[in-house]
A and B are shown apart, each in its own frame.
Chain A
Amino acid sequence: MRVLITTLLLVQLAGCGGTDAIPTATGTTCASPDPMTFGYTAADTPGCTGTPDQCNFGKTFMDAYCINCHASEIPLSKRNGAPLYHDFDTLLGVMEVVGHIDEQAGFGPNAQNEFMPGDGTGGKCPSVAGGSLDSSCPAISADERTNLAQWLACEKDRPHSF
């Protein structure tokens, strides 16, 4: 019986893969008034005060790191685990789950989340939209993740036409 119990415990421990980090809101807040430093695109962010790269930050980030799985045209079986209705190929799609993105990918005072992209798929990402996990996920700097959280914190309170 001791052998059976030991075996069960070992099997249980062997199955504890993956990251232990819990998705946590970064606690990032947007300064008041909104400095308008980061935008989705310059066209979508009238009054943006940042550099062109900063004003196009949101779409650039999503296109580079997210939409090979998180896009509305990718069918369920090719999303590599990405939940349905978590589609970041439009600003509307991002805003619908803005809190989830912050909790899974943002850096801020309360958390440094690296589940997406990277840890959530064992460090592997598709090289093409809807493809298999055939390459290493691109490295995202701490600054980029911090900027993501800051952009989301401000963008969610901005007026939108959708």
Chain B
Amino acid sequence: MVCVLLIAERSGRADHAHVARDDRAGLAASLSLVAARFDTMLYGGDYEGVVPALRWTHDRFAVGATAPLYRIEENGLQVLGAGDATIDGQVTIVHDEMFAAGATLALSAPTGDHKFGLGMGHPMVMPAVWGAMVHDRHAVVAALGYSVGFADAAHHHDDMMWPLVDPMNASELTWSARGDLAVARAWRLGAQLAGGVPVDASGVTRVIAGARAVWISQRVQTGLELQAGLAGDPFTLRAVAQTTVAF
């Protein structure tokens, strides 16, 4: 069995894209708490978020959903509201004791108010492929994806990334590389680099780095990740605390 706990670049979507196959079927629920400061060309402020998520896994397939809520302060204005809800499906295509690879397809709905920086303002479709390798106490995961807006994306935020919470380009290539090390029976330490490269010339290249610690018990996994925006001003600093319970 290969099981890698990761906290994704996008807040609260810990399981999206990169949890390698777990032979057990079942349901898992997670709750992420997000806090960040941002300082973009047009906006400065901070936000906090609560991101509940559900995930159901069966054999090589998994589906999940998230429904975030945020409080954001942007240029002195405080707003409370939903973010963009997402659903995603994942299939593990190849799998053995050390290696797993698969594909995901995530969709987001514009439930967040884009005028306040809480949502994209249009649906997004986000397919990706991933590979994971586990050896001894080490695990590495890499992913490559493509995200694009559809439906009414014509009004999209000029050449900015949007929304202020979880910013991305209207169309971009996404990438991530993550590593974990089991330092004790119940503890893992990890790090990641992730980002997006705009498909359109007018977009913004984004790079973030993160370091995390994860505590694992039989049914509960709790992680804390600190992230820094290295390029593109996705945020200055962000913290994501996540607890996942398997039923």
- Chain A residues with CB under 8 Å of chain B are 1, 4-5, 8-9, 11-19, 22-24, 76-86, 103, 115, 120-121
Contact status A80-B76, CB under 8 Å? yes
**What is the CA–CA distance of A56 and B9 in the complex, to the nearest angstrom?**
50
B81 at the interface (CB under 8 A from A): yes
B41 at the interface (CB under 8 A from A): yes
Q: Which residues of A have CB within 8 Å of B77? A: 79-81, 121
B136 at the interface (CB under 8 A from A): no
Contacts A84-B41, A84-B43; A17 near B80 (Cβ below 8 A) = yes
Contact status B76-A17, CB under 8 Å? no
Contact status A23-B41, CB under 8 Å? no
Which of A1, A12, A81, A121 gathers most chain B CB within 10 Å? A81
19 contacts between A and B (CB under 8 A): A8-B54, A11-B52, A12-B69, A14-B82, A18-B113, A18-B116, A19-B113, A19-B115, A22-B121, A22-B152, A76-B76, A77-B75, A78-B76, A79-B76, A80-B76, A82-B75, A84-B43, A84-B75, A120-B115
B182 at the interface (CB under 8 A from A): no
B67 at the interface (CB under 8 A from A): yes
Contacts A23-B155, A81-B75, A84-B41; A15 near B54 (Cβ below 8 A) = no
**What is the CA–CA distance of A40 and B113 in the complex, to the nearest angstrom?**
32
B27 at the interface (CB under 8 A from A): yes
Other A-B pairs, 14, CB within 8 Å; known A18-B115, A80-B77, A86-B42: A4-B54, A8-B67, A9-B67, A11-B52, A15-B81, A15-B111, A23-B115, A23-B155, A76-B76, A79-B76, A84-B43, A115-B115, A120-B115, A120-B116
Tell me what chain A mostly uses at the interface: helix, strand, loop, or mixed. loop
Q: Which residues of B have CB within 8 Å of A18? A: 79, 81, 113, 115-116
Closest to B116 in A: A18
Contact status A1-B27, CB under 8 Å? yes
Choice from A16, A24, A80, A120 contacting B111 with Cβ under 8 Å: A16
Interface residues on chain B, number (Cβ under 8 Å): 27
**What is the CA–CA distance of A30 and B69 in the complex, to the nearest angstrom?**
43
B226 at the interface (CB under 8 A from A): no
Closest to A5 in B: B54
Choice from B76, B111, B152 contacting A12 with Cβ under 8 Å: B111
Minimum C-beta distance from B123 to chain A (A):
13
Q: Which residues of B have CB within 8 Å of A15? A: 69, 80-82, 111
Q: Which residues of A have CB within 8 Å of B85? A: 12
Contact status A11-B67, CB under 8 Å? yes
Minimum C-beta distance from B105 to chain A (A):
21
Q: Which residues of A have CB within 8 Å of B80? A: 15, 17
Give residues 31-77 of B contacting A (CB, 8 Å): 41-44, 52, 54, 67, 69, 74-77
**What is the CA–CA distance of A16 and B44 in the complex, to the nearest angstrom?**
23
Contacts A4-B29, A86-B42; A81 near B74 (Cβ below 8 A) = yes
Q: Mark B68-105, 1 if CB is under 8 A from A, else 0.
A: 01000011110111100100000000000000000000
**What is the CA–CA distance of A84 and B74 in the complex, to the nearest angstrom?**
11
Minimum C-beta distance from A70 to chain B (A):
11
Q: Which residues of B have CB within 8 Å of A77? A: 75-76
Q: Which residues of B have CB within 8 Å of A81? A: 74-77, 79, 116
Contact status A12-B82, CB under 8 Å? yes
